[in-house]
Amino acid sequence: MDILEKMDIWWEMYLLAISGLHNHMMRQMFDVLDSKLFNTKIDSQKKYITATASTVRKNTNIFVTVTTLSLINYVVSPILLGARGTLPFPGYVPTAAKSTPYFQIIYACQAIVVCCGATLNITIDLLITSFMVIVCGQYDLLGDSFTNMYEIAIDKLKKDPNFNTAVVTGLDEKVDSHVYQDLIVNVKHHLQIMDFVAEIDRAFKWSLFAQFSCSSLVLCLNIYYLSTMKEMNSQASAVVSFTIVVLIQLFLYCWYGNKVYFKSMDFTDDIYMSNWQKCGAKIRKALCIIINRGQKPISITAGNFIPVRLETFISIVKTAYSALTLLQNMDVQL
């Protein structure tokens, strides 16, 4: 079952982000998603592809909904709060432009610009987080292949007309041969997953670094602005909604980055759960090597040195609060 087919129209939206962003690299990554190794080997594994597609859809719906509500708040709050002559974004406007219809035209232009910017930002954010979700699903798929490798080998033998059930009760060479062939495919799958994560990291590490740095600053300034407000106005309402969007954005990155980190180690538990004791010494040695490699986790980073994990999300929130405290102390001293 093809991953891209399960996600259908959502990926059409994500493709809009690749036209000017590492175009060749992005196309290679989408080719990997369409490869044979990244799709199901047996029918029972279709549930992992379906679960991955469902998670991508859910994240898309939630993030798009929250961002759309924030945009509406930005655009409509000056009108709802009765702030006449106030634009969604403050700036210099000539006196002559404050009359009808010039003011309405400027208002509409600001609304269109912010919607276009938000659409591009949503697309890139969901593209990166969806890649992370896919990596998690691939590790689940890989773990299932390791857990059931002995049973899969027997199922293949049962399709052979010369198959004899009495032969496969022990360490039969035919079973070991099929298991070893599947083991080679699983190792190739594992290597392709690691290469895919490396491509994600290489393509987006500096974008994530800029995102995390700016978000820390935005959180600090927004909270400081709200702490100095004496009464709610259209600008404060917009700042609150934007702060919520930034927090959700960072949380999605860190949550799925954290899952990628632990999934890259947890799949070795699935190897322990397999019927490895029924396999020959050659396969057991190979499994030991795979388990040893699986104990070294892989991680997506921001700028090569900031791990995209929940610890980073907590650190960003703490940093923003510390900076807020510093600004408040400076304000008191002044």
SS3 of residue 36 by DSSP: coil
Q: What is the mean pLDDT of residues 111-136?
A: 87
Q: What is the pLDDT of residue 134?
A: 92
Structural domains of the chain, count: 1
Whether residue 19 has pLDDT greater than 50: no
Q: Give the Cα separation of 166 and 164 in Å (integer).
A: 5
Least confident of 42-56, 112-126, 158-172, 185-199: 158-172
Task: Choose between 311 and 178: higher pLDDT.
Answer: 311
Q: Give the Cα separation of 43 and 32 in Å (integer).
A: 21
Q: Give the Cα separation of 229 and 225 in Å (integer).
A: 7
Terminal-residue alpha carbon distance, the chain: 64
Q: How confident is the model at residue 102 (pLDDT cuts 50, 70, 90)?
A: confident
For the chain, the 3-state helix, strand and coil shares in percent, each to the nearest 5, are: 80, 0, 20
Where helices occur in 89-172 by DSSP H, the ranges are: 102-147, 149-158
Predicted TM-score (pTM) of the model is: 0.83
Where is 29: in which H helix or E strand?
Answer: helix 23-33
Beta carbons of 265 and 299 less than 8 angstroms apart: no
Domain enclosing residue 82, as ranges: 3-333
Q: What is the pLDDT of residue 253?
A: 93
Angle made by CA atoms 323, 326, 328, in degrees to the nearest 5: 110
Query: What's the chain's average pLDDT?
Result: 79
Whose CA is closest to 26, among 192, 199, 257? 199
Give the number of other Cβ atoms within 10 Å of residue 77's Cβ: 21
- The values of phi and psi at residue 265, to 5°, are -105, -35
Q: What is the pLDDT of residue 85?
A: 63
Q: What is the pLDDT of residue 170?
A: 47
Whether residue 313 has pLDDT greater than 70: yes
**DSSP-assigned beta bridge partners for residue 302:** 306
Dmax of the chain from CA atoms? 94
pLDDT digits (tens, 9 = 90+) for 207-230: 888 888 888 888 888 887 777 777
Q: Give the Cα separation of 175 and 179 in Å (integer).
A: 6
Q: How confident is the model at residue 294 (pLDDT cuts 50, 70, 90)?
A: confident
Q: What is the mean pLDDT of residues 320-333?
A: 72
- The values of phi and psi at residue 245, to 5°, are -60, -45
Contacts 24+ apart (CB under 8 A), 226-235: 227/324, 227/328, 228/331, 232/81, 233/81, 233/83, 234/77, 234/78, 234/80, 234/81, 234/83, 234/86, 235/90
